[in-house]
Amino acid sequence: MAAAGFLAETGRARVDLFRKRLRRAAADPASEEAIHDLRVSIRRVLAWIAVRDALLGPDRGLRAARSSLKGLMSPLGKLRDAHVKRDLIRTILPKGDEPSYLYALLVAGDVQLREEKVGGLLGRKSARRIRVPLPKARSGRGSGGDASAAGSRHLSTLGRAVRKHRKSALDPSNPDALHRMRLAFKKYRYAWEVLEPLLPRAARNGGKRLHDFQTLLGTIHDCDVILADVRSFRDGCLGERAECALETAVRALRSEKFRDFERIAEHETRAAPMIV
């Protein structure tokens, strides 16, 4: 299949979904599901742009679109982090000590402020006017050649970026390394989604495993974020040296999920060969 035709088709589907998700989130910024779906749709468009650059070369017309989409991701990410903190508190610590309770109040207020900010941002005309130019689906000269070979090379490059972080990410005391691996893996997973129709039939069965592994890495990262945040609040604002109940509960969850990560990263070569 010619690269230009393939990318025009896959790009149009992702852009259309992004616009649908944008309208939904703008109407209800307090909806965690709507915010999550919008963030995922943006990541899929950004991954498509990266694949397009790899297969057809950089396009100046996409620079503004990429910049605008990334501009949306920053406040959306902060709102999503606030939602995650609130949900973790509700799930693992229905009752806690005073520092945990005071931190929960802080998070609740942060959620409300960020929902209001995101609601205003998504309601602006500038957000609705984001345009992502698609390549013309033509054949012959200028069509970009065969997409399968170029797509495979692009995935191989992204896979190597994931693998280089594996050893340091397996150190439980090095959350920064695991975070870098998580970011590299997200790029691989979303590029894989774009290129999935071109992959051999056997390789297409890995979609759920990629999703589950990304979710696992995300959960561990969420634990690291909230542990650092609570520690800063407890020590800096309250002057409390002892770990609070919320930290203890989150640390236990992180240890459980990290053991799952170790098992997959060390042994599951068939399920996720790009990791090992």
Q: Which tokens in the block code for residue 51?
A: 């694949």
What's the mean pLDDT in 252-257?
96
pLDDT of 16 over the 70 cut: yes
pLDDT tens profile 177-199: 999 999 999 999 999 999 988 87
* pLDDT recorded at residue 40: 95
Residues in the chain: 276
DSSP string, the chain: -BHHHHHHHHHHHHHHHHHHHHHHHHH-TT-HHHHHHHHHHHHHHHHHHHHHHHHH---THHHHHHHHHHHHHHHHHHHHHHHHHHHHHHHH-SS--HHHHHHHHHHHHHHHHHHHHHHHHHTSHHHHT---PPPP---STTS-SBHHHHHHHHHHHHHHHHHTTHHHHT-TT-HHHHHHHHHHHHHHHHHHHHHGGGS-GGGGGGHHHHHHHHHHHHHHHHHHHHHHHHHHIIIIIS---SPPHHHHHHHHHHHHHHHHHHHHHHH-TTT-TTT-
* pLDDT recorded at residue 200: 67
Distance CA 45, CA 13 (A): 9
pLDDT of 275 over the 80 cut: no
pLDDT of 242 over the 50 cut: yes
* pLDDT recorded at residue 202: 52
**Out of 29-38, 95-104, 110-119, 141-150, least confident range:** 141-150
* pLDDT recorded at residue 56: 86
What's the mean pLDDT in 197-204?
68
Predicted model pTM: 0.86
User: Taking the C-alpha atoms of 162, 64, 34 and 183 in order, what is their torsion angle to the nearest 10 degrees?
Assistant: 10
Position 271 confidence tier, pLDDT thresholds 50, 70, 90: very low
Position 24 confidence tier, pLDDT thresholds 50, 70, 90: very high
Please, what is the average pLDDT of the chain?
86
